[in-house]
Amino acid sequence: MVDEATTGAPAGLFRRLAALSYDTLIAVALAFVATFAMLPLTSGEAILSATQGLVAHAYHALLALLVFAYFGWSWTRSGQTLGMRAWRIRLETAAARRLTWAGSLARCLLGASLAWLAAVGAWQLARPGSAAAHASAVALLLPLVTNFAWIAFDGERRSLLDVAGRTRVRRLA
């Protein structure tokens, strides 16, 4: 069994982003599997709320559940997702313990909220519009950027997500 306490230094921004990139690919793969499983219910048509109704809502719920199950199971079991294992980092509470399911849910919801705001902001920036529209789009990107930029200013190199959830990400020896 792996020791609960991680004695390594705090993980830096590069390792965190690299692990997040790996885990994003895994989440996309899970979405592909879920989509493939749902297509027989729609006769191969796109799964849209406007055309598929209840099936589309079930599909979106399935996607959210799969992503949460991946992250939650990883964090509650070992404190590491596959991306975190590859980059030798571990998520733990401030008391050097693994997250609970409630802590995992809170972290997933807050992280998904930051990602959703950033995605909407990036989509708005890609569209033609006025300077005011682009300024509001940049404002939607700021929470995610601030979350990661906070690592440089925090004495323990925590992101704002870590501060809110009373967690830390450590490098493994």
Helices 101-126 and 54-77 cross at an angle (nearest 10°) of 120
Q: What is the pLDDT of residue 89?
A: 97
Backbone torsion region of residue 170, taken as left when φ is above 0, otherwise alpha when ψ lies between -120 and 50, otherwise beta: beta
Q: What is the pLDDT of residue 72?
A: 97
Helix (H, G, I), strand (E, B) or coil at 129: coil
pTM here is: 0.86
Q: What is the pLDDT of residue 6?
A: 47
Q: What is the pLDDT of residue 4?
A: 46
Asked if residue 149 is part of any domain, the answer here is yes
Asked if residue 7 is part of any domain, the answer here is no
Segment (H or E) for 136: helix 131-153
Q: How many domains does the chain have?
A: 1
Asked if residue 114 is part of any domain, the answer here is yes
Helix (H, G, I), strand (E, B) or coil at 171: strand
Q: How far apart are CA 83 and CA 62, in angstroms?
A: 22
Q: What is the pLDDT of residue 7?
A: 59
Asked if residue 6 is part of any domain, the answer here is no
Asked if residue 108 is part of any domain, the answer here is yes
Asked if residue 29 is part of any domain, the answer here is yes
Asked if residue 42 is part of any domain, the answer here is yes
Over the chain (173 residues), what is each successive 10-residue block's mean pLDDT? Answer: 61 96 97 89 79 84 95 97 97 94 97 96 90 90 96 95 96 89
Q: Which two tokens stand for residue 116?
A: 């959703």
Tens of pLDDT, residue by residue over 44-89, are 888 877 777 888 888 899 999 999 999 999 999 999 999 999 999 9
Helices 54-77 and 13-38 cross at an angle (nearest 10°) of 140
Q: Which two tokens stand for residue 70?
A: 């991946």
Q: What is the pLDDT of residue 1?
A: 40
Pairing outcome for strands 89-93 and 167-171: antiparallel
Q: Which domain holds residue 167?
A: 13-171
Asked if residue 5 is part of any domain, the answer here is no
